[in-house]
Amino acid sequence: MPVSFSRPTILMCPPDFYGIEYEINPWMSRSRASDKSLTQEQWRALRDLLESLGADVQLMPPVSGLPDLVFTANAGLVWRDTVFLASFRHEARQGETPEDDRWFRAHGFRTVAVPEEWDFEGAGDALFCGDTLFAGYLIRSDAVAEQWLAEQIGCRVIPVQLVDDHYYHLDTCFCPLGPTEAIYFPPAFDEYGRKTIEEHISGLIAVQPDEAARFACNAVVIGRHVVVNTGCPQLEADLVQRGYTPHHTELGEFIKAGGSAKCLTLRLDGEEAAVWP
Ligand code: ARG
């Protein structure tokens, strides 16, 4: 059964088993637990907001013992009816991949694993801007895996090195808005990566450190609508100036795990900014 979509389609996973059970990035501390009911409330509000903007939200069943399964962005890189599955760097998340694999195959996708020796954390580290795949490497994903992926797809890839552990996935410091527009947090990249982004993308919005720490770059784009965590007023003003409509919703319980709006979603029909080969 081939996949086809009549509207923006987003995969989410209810946070029934979400929690801070291990520490694999600097935002996570087992001593700072998430609040169960607040977590459900914030997740539900994000889902409702995305649906109100026209998205069809599909659900991955939550699994006990996999608290980060809620971050569906990491499940894989979607390209047409193919999903290049994640190969997680940390053991704590490796149990997610068989769950993801099962879901995608049951929903008409073909799944492909990256060669075993390499790590790759899905759309968390690989984002199309136009026909080019921007790929974050070093902290969670290997550049060689991303080169391999681009070969499979037949697209250009620009691997950019991530240098700050707080911005350990590309989607925490870079967000394509359209084929020539993106949000980014310059200090998260080395000089070469920063220059490469600046050379290839003409319409860039740079976020300030305080808003980057509120996960300003971890935004969900649906048409001209952009959904972010609360506490990013400068970004919202910059978006308005460029003709976008920003929306915010509180996601503090997920920031405790180092994730926000974008991490909690995976676009199944292709990101707004993607021009697929
Ligand atoms: N606790 C998760 C991790 O460290 C958060 C993942 C956030 N996802 C993302 N796409 N940035 O892996």
Residue-averaged pLDDT of the chain: 98
Residue in this structure with the two tokens 């914030």, named with its chain if needed: 42
Structure tokens at 107: 């929903």
Which residue's CA is minimally distant from atom 8 of ligand 1?
Answer: 263
pTM for the full model?
Answer: 0.98
Strands 174-178 and 181-184, sheet pairing: antiparallel
Q: Spell out the CATH class of 9-267.
A: alpha beta
pLDDT above 90: percentage of residues in the chain: 98
Amino acid in the structure at residue 207 = V
CB 162, CB 173: distance < 8 Å: yes
pLDDT at res. 1: 56
CA of 75 to the centre of ligand 1 (A): 10
As beta bridge partners, residue 157 has 133
258 C-alpha to center of ligand 1: Å?
6
Per-residue model confidence as pLDDT tens digits over 102-161? 999 999 999 999 999 999 999 999 999 999 999 999 999 999 999 999 999 999 999 999
Please report the atom of ligand 1 found closest to the CA of residue 125. 10
The DSSP secondary structure of 12-61, one letter per residue, reads E---TT----S-SSTT--TTSPPPHHHHHHHHHHHHHHHHHTT-EEEEPP
pLDDT surpasses 90 at 3: no
Which amino acid is it at 154? Answer: G
- Supply the pLDDT for residue 96: 98
Q: Are 181 and 201 in contact (CB under 8 A)?
A: yes
13, 169, 175, 217: the active-site residue: 169
